[in-house]
Amino acid sequence: MKKPDYHILVCNSFRIAGDAQGACNKKGATNLLQYLTEEAADRGLDVAVSCTACLNVCSQGPVIVVHPNNYWYGGVESEAVIDEILDALEEGELCEKYSIAD
């Protein structure tokens, strides 16, 4: 298989015990998955999107991480935020406005 250019992790707060009850999930991270996947494809970005367990920065959620760049974003609460992040990614750049890590 061909590896995707980017792998975007979307925290959905999954717990070992089962229920997704953490901060990112409660703030609506699940609702953004389809938009993120479709919008990336519409832009011609070769992206795989995966849901993850808690990434341990709950207070800044919803959190996503873009690899291989290792860009960590918080406050990803709307389609508009995803648009800004993907705008930057198309340029190969960090979207500093939502960056939560150095």
| Helical H segments across 14-102, by residue range | 23-26, 29-42, 79-90
Site for ligand FES (CB under 6 A): which residue of 6, 10, 13, 98? 13
Site for ligand FES (CB under 6 A): which residue of 4, 23, 37, 45? 23
Please, what is the minimum distance in Å from the beta carbon of residue 29 to ligand FES?
7
Spatial CB neighbours of 16, under 8 Å, sequence gap ≥ 6: 53
What is the 3-state composition of the chain as percent helix, strand, coil, each rounded to the nearest 5?
Answer: 35, 25, 40
Please, what is the minimum distance in Å from the beta carbon of residue 17 to ligand FES?
14
Q: Which stretch binds ligand FES (CB under 6 A): 20-28, 37-45, 64-72, 87-95?
A: 20-28
